[in-house]
Amino acid sequence: MSRANGITIKSTRELDYMREAGRIASQTKAVLKDAIRPGVTSRELDAIAEREIRSLGAVPAFKGLYGFPATICSSFNEEIVHGIPSRRRLEEGDIISIDLGAVVGGFYSDTAFTVGVGQIDEDSQRLIYATEESLRLAVEQTRAGHRVGDIGAAVQTYAEGLGYGVVRQYVGHGIGRSLHEDPSVPNYGMPGRGAQLRVGMTIAIEPMLNLGTWDTRVLDDGWTVVTADGSRSGHFEDTVAVTENGPEVLTA
């Protein structure tokens, strides 16, 4: 590991640890997607995720970090991020965002997705599609020589062009030996601005789009972030490495 302007550059061995952490997180996502259905509680999903991550030889990235009590963040409908798993049951028509990560060899992965529970309305379907598409566009900008602002501008231009609110208070981040490292990776910005991307950098890109405005508030539990206007929100995230051949999604 080396550093450039305070940003860690990963060695080949360190990237291999992150690839394995990403693979385990991705496999856990697949297991959770199969388990999501009406009647299941978010606490049950949390138990499934922890069991899967540990069975694959990794450690849950979130549990105990900053005092967070669970393996996954589970955020329903108007909840954007950091929802705490509970006995709340998924209902037909809900959307749920799941955020999770794994640690292998001291290195982190971080990933998130939003899905519908049973049949969902068209606005929610379009929101989920647009959020995932904005992540894809952002990943395309994750190339050596580009800047963090290019990533944010890709999300903002696409999402705001469709009328969605792009959350500003919560952003993507560098990732490696810590879950949150430099640089910050906002989902808005100006092309050509911000930290320059270099081969060996690893970042977590995580667009959060709202059906309404971009403003947010935090619930009394001190964790759960919701849309200020009560509109629904989508969240997708991948851990991405900058390589000589372009972006490598470690949590695909």
CA distance 76 to 116: 10
Task: Report CA-CA distances (Å) from 10 to 199, 200, 241, 247.
Answer: 9, 5, 9, 14
Task: Provide the mean pLDDT of the chain.
Answer: 98
Under 8 Å between Cβ of 37 and 90 = yes
What is the predicted pLDDT for the residue at 221? 98
Q: What is the CATH number of the domain that holds 31?
A: 3.90.230.10
What tens digit of pLDDT does each residue of 37-87 get? 999 999 999 999 999 999 999 999 999 999 999 999 999 999 999 999 999
Which helix or strand (DSSP H or E) is residue 218 part of?
strand 216-218
Identify the band that residue 3 occupies on the pLDDT scale cut at 50, 70 and 90.
low
Sheet containing 202-205, strands listed edge to edge, beginning at the edge strand earlier in sequence: 181-185, 172-174, 202-205, 238-243, 246-249
Residue 221 backbone phi and psi in degrees, to 5: -70, -5
The parent domain of residue 135 ranges over 2-249
Helix-then-strand count for the chain, H and E: 4, 19
Q: Would you say residue 207 has pLDDT above 70?
A: yes
What is the predicted pLDDT for the residue at 96? 99
Tokens of 96: 């749920």
Q: Please state whether beta strands 216-218 and 172-174 pair in parallel, antiparallel, or not at all (unpaired).
A: unpaired
Tokens of 247: 């972006």
What tens digit of pLDDT does each residue of 173-201 get? 999 999 999 999 999 999 999 999 999 99
CA distance 219 to 7: 32
What is the predicted pLDDT for the residue at 37? 98
Task: Report CA-CA distances (Å) from 114 to 51, 65, 234.
Answer: 21, 22, 6
CA distance 71 to 85: 9
What is the predicted pLDDT for the residue at 229? 99
CA distance 170 to 207: 9
Note the pTM of the prediction, 2 decimals. 0.96
DSSP codes, 160-179: HHTT-EE--SS-EEE-SSSS
Under 8 Å between Cβ of 197 and 145 = yes
Q: How many domains does the chain have?
A: 1
What is the predicted pLDDT for the residue at 6? 72
What tens digit of pLDDT does each residue of 142-156 get? 999 999 999 999 999
Under 8 Å between Cβ of 12 and 18 = no
